[in-house]
């Protein structure tokens, strides 16, 4: 439609501007031949001029240092393209398109049978958006703060404690399993393949929320990354020791319990 075409023109114009101003920062100078090379980079984003099935082959001359004038000229060309793309768009046209959309939505409100159109599932997200904007949930703010803070800390500590007791003689701080390692798949290990790491991450997130510390939350993310690397090494060796480990990996998540193990309350007919 005309509206879609105008929206695409705006999108392409924004992409052109970003490419022009970021090309010098993110494209190594050794890979920039001249103003034409910058133009080639911009043309790659102009998806409207090429079909997806077409293959474009470009031949480049030996690389050389691009001058400031090359960047300025390229930016001017992009600015001209932006101007041309926006020239066909007017405030009156956009206003008309919005009026058509709102009028159609108004007419659609009267269509269908009341009670069978999914009214409840329509209203609930809007209620959520309302409380998202005001930043407070009546009768639940304290509970949410406790759950996201101390609640996560307690849950994490529980994961760590139960994991240590379940491992017993298999417990080791190193990625390499003990010689007589026993594969444990029940209890907390049925929820996570590495529940100790999961517990530490949950504890860190809860501590960061409780103390309003973005730094602690950030470090928790770093710790999760390090645990992930360590867990990869552990699983390679566990897979060599236990033939059933591959099946265990397919059934149990690495760190956090999958959502399919959590049953959410349903509304209306499924």
232 neighbors 255 (Cβ within 8 angstroms): no
pLDDT of residue 216: 95
What per-residue string of b and e applies to 170-195 under the rule 16 or more CB within 10 Å gives b?
Answer: eeeeeeebeeebeebeeebbebbbbb
Q: For residue 114, report the phi and psi dihedrals to the nearest 5 degrees.
A: -60, 135
In total, the chain counts a number of residues equal to 270
> What's this model's pTM, rounded to 2 decimal places?
0.54
Contacts of 190 (CB under 8 A, 6+ apart): 252
Beta-carbon neighbour count of residue 252 at 10 Å?
Answer: 18
| Intervals of the chain under pLDDT 70 | 1-68, 88, 258-270
pLDDT of residue 182: 93
pLDDT of residue 50: 45
pLDDT of residue 9: 60
pLDDT of residue 63: 53
pLDDT of residue 136: 76
């Amino acid at each position: 439609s005309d509206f879609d075409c105008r929206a695409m023109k705006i999108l392409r114009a924004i992409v052109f501007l970003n490419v022009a101003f970021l090309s010098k920062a993110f494209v190594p100078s050794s890979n920039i031949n001249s103003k034409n090379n910058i133009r080639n980079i911009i043309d790659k984003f102009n998806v409207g001029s090429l079909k997806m099935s077409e293959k474009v082959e470009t031949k480049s001359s030996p690389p050389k240092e691009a001058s400031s004038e090359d960047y300025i000229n390229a930016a001017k060309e992009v600015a001209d393209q932006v101007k041309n793309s926006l020239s066909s768009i007017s405030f009156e046209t956009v206003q008309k398109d919005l009026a058509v959309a709102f009028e159609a939505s108004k007419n659609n409100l009267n269509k269908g049978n009341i009670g069978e159109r999914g009214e409840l599932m329509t209203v609930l997200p809007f209620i959520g958006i309302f409380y998202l904007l005001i930043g407070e949930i009546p009768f639940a703010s304290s509970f949410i703060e406790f759950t996201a803070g101390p609640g996560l800390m307690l849950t994490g500590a529980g994961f760590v404690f139960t994991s240590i007791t379940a491992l017993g003689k298999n417990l080791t701080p190193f990625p390499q399993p003990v010689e007589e390692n026993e594969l444990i798949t029940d209890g907390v290990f049925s929820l996570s393949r590495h529940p100790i790491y999961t517990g530490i991450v949950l504890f860190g997130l809860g501590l960061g929320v409780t103390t309003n510390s973005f730094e602690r939350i950030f470090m928790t993310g770093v710790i999760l990354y390090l645990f992930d690397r360590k867990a990869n090494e552990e699983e390679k060796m566990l897979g060599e020791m236990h033939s059933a480990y591959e099946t265990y990996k397919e059934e149990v998540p690495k760190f956090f319990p999958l959502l399919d193990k959590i049953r959410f309350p349903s509304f209306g007919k499924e």
